[in-house]
């Protein structure tokens, strides 16, 4: 058997790739995605009205934190069957901080449902994700929810969707409103039938005279849109000549256009009453593509050599990808896996390969690894419930237990033919937070806990700053950070604190000066004697360090001149004012004194260090701060706000360029100190439409008032 699915009231049935639909739900927070998933499960009989799963083993990794935070924070999968087709519904968080989970959901799915609230409309993140799907021609449909709420407006939501999502967005149904303006049914634009749901079950009837006029204009627009996408060139002429095209013909062309991602039906749904769920299931079954029709990612050997392109073949070699990993105190490690080729069976050894850096560059994702592991139980997933399978087949999304080394983004393959899939593009974490353990006992646990977070979530980065000696946790935003800290404290039982991130400052000499280093000690026995005279001057930014020997007359013996340089370099690493490394200066040794007995390498090293300190005292020290090159992409209407904000952060705007689709990229150079909370501030400033990248550019002089603030903060 290719795989088993168990749903309430059904027999164990064979699943083949053509009978699978993988659908990701996308929408802003509180748009109703999770409620919609539950309604679809109810409609297919997978759960009862109270949300009870009939059979299976219950697991939970995120429910507690989601309950306390009041939002979904992680990707989840719910599987059900409808008319002989297995539907894997991939629910994703709506908060912008968890866009990494959405990207994982896009990788696992073959089509997308964009869930739009009739009250709140479309936010910037949802629009950008739509454009991302359009770039790869992923099939999409739109579900309008919250029509039963006081400000719910289907026509207004439809207009917003058409404006935000562009061409091809057309309604298939209109809501049928009762006397209180609450949807009591649907009106089919193609079938010209009324589906009355006011009694709690759907009754189909012909439209009344009041409905005919209401549907004429949207029906005409819908039919013309379908005809434009049709491969039958005669349809347009027939339509223009007044022929009434058969609904079944239009439905067939509609399904073809939806499957290839060029037409996007809009459906009103009331998840609480079940209104519209059956029609939505039919769109998923008939309009969305099976895994056989969806392009597959590129595949390589673990060493990066391209392999033959994949095909979704259940009898082919195993190639699968871990799209989510979780840990549970009762079940242990659990991996959510999309199988692209072959089959995944319990108690079978597989090769696990992870090489993020090979595609994304150094410092991204987990460490590279290749290891063989034995798969535990393989299950179909329904949120927090697992139903055991004989095996998972190509095209399916399943859960696998006991893969201890498998991490999010890893490839699973046959041991005899190891493979590596090109990973999906992950956003860069841009919110840094320094974390510390409260006790020495927690220090080791903290390192292990942070490693676990990185393994589970590719949008997390951890680094130990060698200059500030801080452990820095990089996250996507405040909400993401809150979830990560919660996991460390609750799941790993670590007492941790957070503190502001320190920037890596530099010191340099402020002006050219003469200085002396004198190290003379005489206390009986062998003494220490070394004197050096130096000239210290600043160099241009980025010039580094130069040491010049201009000693004449042998005042400093030749063998001790390298010792002076060594002492200067050692002191530069330590700094002379606030403990930061010194850069961009020239030290010229012009003279000194030595003793035939008491001079030594160590003495002249000490004299060189003292000479640099003396130069700092007389010539002054300038502090240099790191400057980042920043590129901000934002909707055109917020460009002025962004540029003004960057200027307020002591930034220098270097240019603007059009990014297309009504967006502009603003380039600037901004002190790193001013970017610590920019990931959060930009989201508020640009109403969620802004994204940015940052890269170290150079160090530059820091204003004195800023120096005093930084030093005071570090000394407190």
Return the CATH number at 93. Answer: 3.40.50.300
Tell me whether residue 8 is in a domain.
no
Each residue of 521-547: b (16+ CB within 10 Å) or e? eeeeeeebbbbbbbbbebeeeeeeeeb
Beta strands 169-171 and 264-268, pairing class:
parallel
How wide is the angle at C-alpha 124 spanned by C-alphas 684 and 23, nearest 5°? 130
Give yes or no: residues 274 and 331 share one domain: no
Q: What was the pLDDT predicted at 246?
A: 87
Structure tokens at 541: 């930014």
Adjacent-strand bridge partners of 622? 508
Give yes or no: residues 628 and 608 share one domain: no
Tell me whether residue 426 is in a domain.
no
CA distance 149 to 30: 13
Tell me whether residue 64 is in a domain.
yes
Q: What was the pLDDT predicted at 329?
A: 63
DSSP secondary structure letters along 189-239: TTT--EEE-TTSS-EEEPPPHHHHHHHHHHHHHHHHHHHHH-S-THHHHHH
Return the CATH number at 453. Answer: 3.30.70.870
With beta carbons less than 8 A apart as the criterion, state whether 537 and 616 touch. Answer: no
pLDDT in tens, 418-457: 999 998 888 899 999 999 999 988 998 999 999 989 989 9
Element (H, E) at 9: none
Give yes or no: residues 122 and 234 share one domain: yes
pLDDT in tens, 214-260: 899 999 999 999 998 888 888 888 888 888 888 889 999 999 999 98
Distance, C-alpha 205 to centroid of its chain: 47
With beta carbons less than 8 A apart as the criterion, state whether 421 and 297 touch. Answer: yes
User: Edge-to-edge strands of the sheet including 183-188?
Assistant: 173-177, 183-188, 194-196, 203-205
DSSP H helices, 109-153, are 124-135
Each residue of 57-80: b (16+ CB within 10 Å) or e? eebebbeebbeeeebbbbbbbbbb
Structure tokens at 574: 């330590």
Return the CATH number at 403. Answer: 2.40.30.10
Give yes or no: residues 96 and 243 share one domain: yes
CA distance 424 to 106: 9
Element (H, E) at 70: none
User: Edge-to-edge strands of the sheet including 513-521?
Assistant: 513-521, 528-538, 585-593, 545-549
Tell me whether residue 11 is in a domain.
no
DSSP secondary structure letters along 45-69: TSB-TT--BSSSEE--SSHHHHHHH
The band of 289, judged by pLDDT with boundaries at 50, 70 and 90, is: very high
Which of 263, 293, 323 corresponds to the end of one domain? Answer: 293
Q: What was the pLDDT predicted at 55?
A: 42
Give yes or no: residues 98 and 135 share one domain: yes
Q: What was the pLDDT predicted at 57?
A: 41
Adjacent-strand bridge partners of 628? 670, 696
Domain that holds residue 663: 623-715
Tell me whether residue 592 is in a domain.
yes
pLDDT in tens, 382-427: 867 889 999 999 999 999 999 999 999 999 999 999 999 998 888 8
Q: What was the pLDDT predicted at 657?
A: 97
Q: What was the pLDDT predicted at 201?
A: 83
Tell me whether residue 286 is in a domain.
yes
pLDDT in tens, 152-179: 899 999 999 999 998 899 999 999 987 7
CA distance 156 to 137: 26
The dihedral of CA 710, 712, 713, 715: what is its sign? Answer: positive
Nearest to 430 by CA among 463, 474, 471: 474
Residue tagged 């002089």 (tokens): 701
User: Edge-to-edge strands of the sheet including 471-475?
Assistant: 461-464, 471-475, 431-437, 496-499
Q: What was the pLDDT predicted at 264?
A: 96
Element (H, E) at 371: strand 369-374
Residue tagged 């503190």 (tokens): 499
The dihedral of CA 650, 653, 654, 658: what is its sign? Answer: positive
Which of 457, 484, 499 corresponds to the end of one domain? Answer: 499
Return the CATH number at 659. Answer: 3.30.70.240
Q: What was the pLDDT predicted at 173?
A: 95
pLDDT in tens, 577-636: 888 999 999 999 999 999 988 999 999 999 999 999 999 999 999 999 999 999 999 999
Nearest to 126 by CA among 145, 109, 113: 113
Q: Residue 195 contacts by C-beta under 8 Å, 6 or more apart in sequence? A: 173, 176, 185, 186, 187, 188, 202, 203, 204, 279
User: For the chain, how are helix, strand and coil distributed in percent, rounded to 5?
Assistant: 30, 30, 35
Give yes or no: residues 370 and 324 share one domain: yes
Give yes or no: residues 71 and 162 share one domain: yes
Give yes or no: residues 395 and 529 share one domain: no
Phi, psi dihedrals of residue 36, rounded to the nearest 5° = -65, -40
Adjacent-strand bridge partners of 87? 21, 80
- pTM of the predicted structure, to 2 decimals: 0.87
Tell me whether residue 9 is in a domain.
no
Give yes or no: residues 208 and 184 share one domain: yes
Which of 465, 499, 533 corresponds to the end of one domain? Answer: 499
The band of 376, judged by pLDDT with boundaries at 50, 70 and 90, is: very high
Q: How far apart are the first and last CA of the chain?
A: 67
CA distance 408 to 335: 8
Tell me whether residue 7 is in a domain.
no
CA distance 103 to 74: 11
Give yes or no: residues 117 and 231 share one domain: yes
What value does the mean pLDDT of the chain take? 89
Neighbours of 486 (CB within 10 A): 15
pLDDT for 52 beyond 70: no
% of the chain with per-residue pLDDT over 90: 68
Give yes or no: residues 645 and 608 share one domain: no
The band of 270, judged by pLDDT with boundaries at 50, 70 and 90, is: very high
pLDDT for 360 beyond 80: no
Q: What was the pLDDT predicted at 54?
A: 42
Distances in whole angstroms, Cα of residue 360 to Cα of each of 356, 363, 365, 366, 431: 6, 8, 8, 11, 19
**How many domains does one find in the chain?**
5
Give yes or no: residues 395 and 469 share one domain: no
pLDDT in tens, 624-640: 999 999 999 999 999 99
Neighbours of 375 (CB within 10 A): 23
Least confident range of 313-322, 504-513, 522-531, 561-570: 522-531
């Amino acid at each position: 058997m290719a795989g088993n699915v168990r749903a309430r009231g059904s027999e164990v049935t064979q699943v083949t790739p053509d009978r699978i639909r993988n659908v990701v739900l996308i929408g802003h927070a509180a748009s109703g995605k999770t409620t919609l998933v539950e309604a679809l499960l109810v409609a297919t009989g997978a759960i009862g009205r109270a949300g009870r799963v009939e059979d299976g083993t219950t697991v939970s990794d995120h429910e507690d934190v989601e309950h306390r935070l009041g939002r979904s924070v992680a990707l989840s999968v719910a599987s059900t069957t409808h008319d002989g087709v297995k539907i894997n519904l991939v629910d994703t968080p709506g908060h912008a901080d968890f866009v990494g989970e959405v990207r994982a959901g896009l990788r696992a799915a073959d089509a997308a449902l964009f869930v739009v609230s009739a009250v709140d409309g479309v936010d910037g993140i949802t629009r950008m994700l739509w454009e991302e799907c359009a770039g790869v021609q992923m099939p999409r449909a739109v579900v309008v929810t919250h029509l039963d709420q006081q400000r719910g407006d289907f026509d207004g939501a439809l207009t917003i969707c058409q404006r935000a999502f562009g061409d091809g967005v057309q309604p298939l149904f209109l809501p049928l409103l009762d006397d209180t303006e609450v949807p009591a049914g649907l009106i089919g634009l193609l079938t010209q039938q009324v589906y009355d749901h006011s009694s709690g079950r759907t009754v189909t009837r012909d439209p009344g005279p009041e409905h005919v006029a209401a549907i004429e204009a949207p029906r005409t627009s819908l039919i013309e849109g379908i005809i434009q996408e049709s491969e039958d060139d005669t349809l347009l002429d027939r339509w223009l000549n007044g022929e009434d095209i058969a609904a079944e013909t239009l439905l067939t062309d509609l399904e073809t256009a939806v499957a290839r991602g060029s037409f996007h039906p809009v459906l009103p749904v009331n998840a609480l009453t079940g209104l519209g769920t059956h029609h939505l299931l039919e769109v998923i079954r008939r309009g969305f593509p099976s895994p056989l029709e969806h392009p597959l990612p590129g595949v390589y050997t673990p060493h990066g050599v391209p392999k033959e392109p994949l095909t979704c073949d259940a009898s082919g070699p195993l190639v699968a990808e871990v799209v989510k990993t979780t840990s549970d105190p009762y079940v242990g490690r659990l991996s959510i896996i999309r199988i692209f080729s072959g089959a995944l069976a319990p108690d079978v050894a597989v090769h696990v390969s992870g090489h993020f850096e090979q595609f994304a560059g150094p410092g991204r994702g987990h460490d590279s690894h290749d290891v063989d592991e034995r798969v535990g139980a393989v299950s179909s997933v329904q949120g927090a419930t697992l139903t055991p399978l004989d095996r998972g087949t190509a095209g399916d999304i399943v859960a696998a237990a006991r893969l201890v080394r498998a991490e999010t983004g890893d490839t699973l393959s046959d041991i005899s033919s190891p493979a590596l899939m090109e990973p999906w593009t992950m956003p860069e974490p841009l919110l840094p937070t320094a974390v510390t353990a409260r006790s020495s006992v927690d220090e080791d646990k903290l390192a292990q806990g942070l490693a676990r977070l990185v393994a589970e979530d590719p949008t997390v980065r951890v680094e130990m700053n060698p200059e500030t000696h801080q452990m820095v946790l990089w996250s996507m935003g405040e909400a993401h950070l809150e979830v990560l800290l919660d996991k460390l404290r609750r799941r790993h039982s670590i007492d941790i604190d957070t503190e502001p991130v320190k920037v890596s400052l530099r010191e340099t000499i402020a002006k050219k000066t003469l200085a002396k280093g004198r190290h003379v000690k005489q206390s009986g026995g062998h003494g220490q004697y070394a004197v050096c005279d130096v000239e210290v001057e600043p160099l241009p930014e980025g010039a580094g360090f130069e040491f010049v020997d201009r000693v004449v007359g042998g005042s400093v013996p030749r063998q001790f001149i390298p010792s002076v340089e060594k002492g200067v370099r050692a002191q530069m690493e330590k700094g002379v004012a606030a403990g930061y490394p010194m850069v961009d200066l020239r030290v010229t040794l012009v003279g000194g004194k030595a003793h035939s007995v008491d001079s030594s390498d160590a003495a002249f090293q000490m004299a060189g260090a003292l000479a640099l300190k003396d130069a700092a005292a007389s010539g002054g020290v300038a502090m240099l701060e790191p400057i980042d090159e920043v590129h901000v992409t934002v909707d055109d209407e917020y460009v002025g706000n962004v540029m003004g904000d960057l200027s307020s952060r002591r930034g220098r705007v270097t240019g603007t360029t059009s990014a297309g689709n009504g967006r502009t990229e603003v380039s600037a150079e901004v002190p790193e100190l001013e970017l610590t909370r920019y990931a959060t501030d930009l989201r508020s400033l640009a109403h969620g439409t802004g994204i940015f990248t940052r890269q170290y550019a150079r160090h530059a002089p820091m204003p004195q008032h800023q120096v005093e603030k930084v030093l005071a903060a570090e000394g407190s």
